[in-house]
C-alpha cells in the first residue's frame, strides 16, 4: 500500500476507541460556544448527523455515512434499495475507528450483505442526483479475502488520498457467493482522465494487480446487468 495512505492515521489513533479529549491546554475549554464546540449539557446529536464533538478530535475533510443492506430484508423488498439503511455518520478520525472497530468486516458479514460508506447526504444509489452522472470502478476478490482492501479503500477515501477527491461519492462492498466485490463510486463518469486517475491510484493503494472496470451508472440504469465497462485498467 502507498505510504501516504498508511500515514493518514497513526497506530495510536487506530487503536484508540475512546480518545481523551486534549487541546493545547490539555483540557476542555468549556466556555467555547461556537459551532462545532462541545457545550456542557448539550443534547447528544443523532448518530446520522455529523457530530459537533469535533473540537478536540481530528476532523475529516468530509463527513461520511455507513449504510447497510440486510440480505433477509432485501429478499422481501418490492423495489431495490428500500431495505438499505444509514447506520452511522462520522466526521472525525476517532469516530471512524470507533465505528470501524465495532462493525463486521466483509469476511464476517452474511452472504449477500452490502456495506456502504458514502459521503454524508449522498445516497448510494444510481438515482441519487450526485451519483446519477457518475459510475463505479469494481475490484473482485475471492470470498472472504477483501477485509484489507476494504479498510485501505476507506482510509484512502476519508483521508482524502485521491488527487480527484471531489469526484469520490463513496464505496460499497458486496458479499456474494461467487466472490466479494468492492466498488468505488464517482460523480462524473464522462471525465475519463479523472476516472482513470482515480482507478490507477485506487489499484496502487490496494496493491491490486488484476484489471478493474468502470461502468457508467447511466448504462446500469438502462441495461442493468448487461451494462459493460467503459474504461478498463
Residues lying near ligand MGP in the complex (CB under 6 A) are found at 80-81, 114, 125-127, 174, 176, 224-225
Least distance to ligand MGP, CB of residue 144, Å:
16
Q: Please report how close the Cβ of residue 194 comes to ligand MGP at its closest, in angstroms.
A: 21
Q: Which of 28, 26, 27, 48 is nearest to 39 (CA)?
A: 28
State how far the Cα of 182 lies from the Cα of 116, in Å rounded to an integer: 10
Rounded to a whole number of angstroms, the minimum distance from the CB of residue 93 to ligand MGP is 29
Q: State which residue, 20 or 76, has the beta carbon closest to ligand MGP.
A: 76
C-alpha cell of residue 24? 493545547
Summary count for the chain: helices (H), strands (E)? 7, 8
- Give 82 or 232: the residue with its C-beta nearer to ligand MGP: 82
Asked if residues 157 and 65 have their Cβ atoms less than 8 Å apart, the reply is no
Closer residue to ligand MGP in complex, CB, 32/80: 80
Which of residues 154 and 181 has its CB atom nearest to ligand MGP in the complex?
A: 181
Q: Which helix (H) or strand (E) holds 79?
A: none
Is the distance from CB of 183 to CB of 171 less than 8 angstroms? Answer: yes
Amino acid at each position: 500500500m502507498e505510504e501516504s495512505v498508511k500515514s493518514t492515521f497513526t497506530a495510536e489513533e487506530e487503536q484508540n476507541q475512546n480518545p481523551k479529549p486534549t487541546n493545547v491546554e490539555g483540557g476542555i475549554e468549556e466556555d467555547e460556544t461556537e459551532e462545532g464546540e462541545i457545550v456542557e449539557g448539550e443534547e447528544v446529536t443523532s448518530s446520522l448527523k455529523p457530530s459537533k464533538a469535533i473540537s478536540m478530535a481530528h476532523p475529516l475533510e468530509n463527513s461520511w455515512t455507513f449504510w447497510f443492506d440486510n440480505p433477509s430484508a432485501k429478499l422481501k423488498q418490492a423495489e431495490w434499495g428500500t431495505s438499505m439503511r444509514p447506520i452511522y455518520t462520522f466526521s472525525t478520525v476517532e469516530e471512524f475507528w470507533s465505528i470501524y472497530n465495532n462493525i463486521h468486516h466483509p469476511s464476517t458479514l452474511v452472504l449477500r450483505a452490502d456495506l456502504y460508506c458514502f459521503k454524508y447526504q449522498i445516497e448510494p444509489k444510481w438515482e441519487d442526483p450526485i451519483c446519477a452522472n457518475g459510475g463505479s470502478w469494481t475490484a473482485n476478490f475471492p470470498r472472504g479475502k477483501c477485509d484489507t482492501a476494504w479498510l485501505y479503500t476507506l482510509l484512502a477515501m476519508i483521508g482524502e488520498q485521491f488527487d480527484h477527491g471531489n469526484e469520490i461519492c463513496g464505496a460499497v462492498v458486496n458479499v456474494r457467493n461467487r466472490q466479494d466485490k468492492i466498488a468505488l463510486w464517482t460523480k462524473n463518469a464522462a471525465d475519463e482522465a479523472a476516472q482513470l486517475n482515480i482507478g490507477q491510484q485506487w489499484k496502487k493503494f490496494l496493491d491490486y494487480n488484476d484489471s478493474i472496470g468502470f461502468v457508467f451508472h447511466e448504462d446500469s440504469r438502462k441495461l442493468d446487468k448487461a451494462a459493460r465497462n467503459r474504461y478498463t485498467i
